[in-house]
Structures are given as C-alpha cells and as structure tokens.
Structure 1
Amino acid sequence: MKHVLPALYALLLLSGCEATTTVGYSPYLEPIPGSITYGGQPRTRLTKAPVGSIVPHQFIDQYGRRVYETYVIEPDRSLRLVNRRYRDFPLFDDD
C-alpha cells in the first residue's frame, strides 16, 4: 500500500499535463510548410504595426498537428520566427 499511493499521485499529476511540444526560441528556427515565412518573407509589409510587435499564427501541419508560431516584427518590417509549439493530440483539443 505504501508504494501504491505515490504511484497514483504520479499518475494523476501526469494525466493533467497538456500534450504539447515546444520548440522555443532559437536563432536557427526554420520555417516549415504552413509558416508565414516559408518560401521567403511575405510580399506585404506590416507598415502600421510597431517594430517589436508580436504576430501569432496557427495552422495544421502535414501530420495533422496544430502548430502555433510566434513572429516578431523587425526594424526592416520583416518577420522573425521566434517560437513554435505543437499540439500533438488534436482529438483532445479545446477548439
């Protein structure tokens, strides 16, 4: 009995975890198909948004996972990809 309770607590804690994978910030984070900057910078420039603004973007990748990306507007009005997260189990998605 003394080994069962810690195992149950661990199971409960792990069951509450969200099934996501975070890539996080990396200077070498490359765009993937579906990213705003995949194939180059977009043709339209974000002229009204202040430099340093955050631009969120979400899409479904070729594996069916929901992808959340974060971009930052650079001084030359280009977009820099700074963060990417994956939602691995779309069946349990809130949306």
Structure 2
Amino acid sequence: MKHALLAVLFALSACASAGDPQPLPGSLTYGEKVIRSPYRPGTVVKNTFLGDFGYRVFETYVVQRDGTLKLTSQSTGPDFLWQ
C-alpha cells in the first residue's frame, strides 16, 4: 500500500511539471517574492527545502539580467536513504 501511494504521488508530480515549474511554499520566489541576486546574469542558483509529506524539494534558478531569479527546474525526492 505504501509503495502504491508513492507511485501515485510521483505520477501526479510528473503531470504537474508539464509546464513551467511553479513556486511552492519554501521556494525562494513563493508568493510573488522578488529576490535580487548579487551574482552575474546566467548564474545557476540551487535551493533545497523540505516539502509536503517529508519529501525534499530540489530547485534550480537562473539569475536574470535585472538580478531577479527565474525558477527553471523543480524535482522531489525522499529525505532519507533506504538501507
């Protein structure tokens, strides 16, 4: 049952990521926040945080010409290692 639930969650997350990734609570740009980066345009910035159901969310941003961050990719994974 637990594995079936995980399979459904991964399938739903794949469907939701068909377009541009959307900021989640915990994302650097969630809630229309505008963050200015001190890095040069084109620099890749990575962000990781703990999302819903104990999953780790991995995000990648790219610094734009005006210094703002654009969310370019987002993925989730377990926050623990199976042994």
Q: After TM superposition, is the score higher than 0.5?
A: yes
> In the TM superposition, what whole-angstrom CA distance separates every residue of 1:22-55 from its partner, at most 9, and x where no partner exists?
86x8762110111000012345x223x1100000
Between structures 1 and 2, the one with greater helix share:
2
Q: Give the conservation status (yes or no) of the 8 Å contact 1:26–1:82.
A: no
SS at match of 2:45: strand
Partner residue of 1:34?
A: 26
Task: Using structure 2 for the length normalisation, give the TM-score.
Answer: 0.68
Query: Do the aligned partners of residues 36 and 26 (structure 1) sit closer, same or farther apart at CA in structure 2, a change above 3 Å counting?
Result: farther
Tell me which structure has the larger Cα radius of gyration.
Answer: 1
Task: Using structure 1 for the length normalisation, give the TM-score.
Answer: 0.61
The residue identity in structure 2 corresponding to 1:46 is S
1:61 aligned to 2:76? no
Q: Report which structure shows greater RCO (CA 8 Å, sep ≥6).
A: 1
Q: Give the conservation status (yes or no) of the 8 Å contact 2:59–2:71.
A: yes
SS at match of 1:83: strand
Distance 2:19 2:71 in 1: 9
RMSD: 2.4
1:76 aligned to 2:30? no
Residue segments in structure 2 that go unaligned for 5+ positions in a row: 1-9
Residue segments in structure 1 that go unaligned for 5+ positions in a row: 1-20
Structure 1 runs of 4+ with >6 Å offset = none
The residue identity in structure 2 corresponding to 1:63 is F
Identity of aligned residues (%): 30
Distance 1:57 1:80 in 2: 12
Alignment length (residue pairs): 69
